[in-house]
Amino acid sequence: MKSLYRIGFGFDIHPFKKGGPLILGGVRIPSPIGLRGHSDADALLHALCDSILGALSLGDIGQHFPSSDVRWKNTPSRIFIEKALQLARQKGYRIGNVDACIICERPKISPHYSAMRKRIGELLKIPVNCVGLKSKTAERLGSLGRGQGLAVMANILLVRR
């Protein structure tokens, strides 16, 4: 019998590069630094995508969208989310709620919470009150603490349709 619920976890990290914009949760944040990556480097959507794939036991984003494939160069990460959602639907699940944490020293993330939660809700087809989002600094520890990049951790709950 299929489980009523399946939980998933996702993690992603990208180095900063000079020049914005910073794209997080599908939102363009004006910033003098952006994230380096093969696609649009949206670490928040990547972690959410991995959490969905993880909940389904279907591997990870790198297996579904390898960075060696030129098709995914500069791709908006909503494409990855759409594909993961489609897989969830095929397996008989919808998203229940998500909870994510962004870790970076700069820029300040909190002013963008509401835009990101709204966009994530749209992408995952869930109400905004089912999108938990927070951010932390790394307390100046390690590479994240030196401001060299940004990391995201995300949990997701899938519910049987």
Q: Is residue 40 involved in binding Mg ion (CB under 5 A)? A: no
Beta carbons of 63 and 83 less than 8 angstroms apart = no
The single residue among 8, 24, 40, 46 that binds Mg ion, judged by CB under 5 A, is 46
CB of 49 to Mg ion, least distance (A): 9
SS3 27: strand
Name the packing angle between helices 78-90 and 113-124 (round to 10°).
Answer: 40
Q: Which is nearer to Mg ion, 46 or 119 (CB)?
A: 46
- The span of 5-13, 78-86, 113-121, 139-147 binding Mg ion (CB under 5 A) equals 5-13
The single residue among 6, 8, 10, 12 that binds Mg ion, judged by CB under 5 A, is 12
DSSP lists the bridge partners of residue 150 as 14
12: tokens are 């992603």
Q: Which residues bind Mg ion (CB under 5 A)?
A: 12, 46
